[in-house]
Structure 1
Amino acid sequence: MSIQVIIAAMLERELAARGVQSLGHSDCVQIVENLLGRLKELDQELAARTIAQQ
C-alpha cells in the first residue's frame, strides 16, 4: 500500500467527519498526489534558496 493511498484514506475520513460526501476515493488520491507534488516542489525551492544564501 502506498503512502498516497494511506493519506487519501485519512483525507476521506476527515472529510466524512465534516459532512463532505461528494468526493470519491479516486478524487482523494488525486488531491493527495497533487499536494505531495506541490510539497516536493516547495521543498526543492527552499533548499535552493538555502544554498543560494550560503
Structure 2
Amino acid sequence: MLFKVTALQPAGWSDALKRLLAMENQHDREAYTEAKTDFVQNVLDAGPFE
C-alpha cells in the first residue's frame, strides 16, 4: 500500500490509516509495521508543514 502526502492533512488521517492497516493485516504484524512505516516516510519526505 502506498500513501503519498500531497498537502496538509489532518492528524486524523494517521489514526484512520492505522485502523485500516490493522484490519488489512490483522494476522501479519510485520506487514502492518511496514505499511505504516511507508506512510511515515512519505510524511517526512514531504517536508515541513506550514
Task: Give the structure-1-normalised TM-score.
Answer: 0.41
Higher-helix-fraction structure: 1
Q: Which has the higher contact order (CA 8 A, sep 6+)?
A: 2
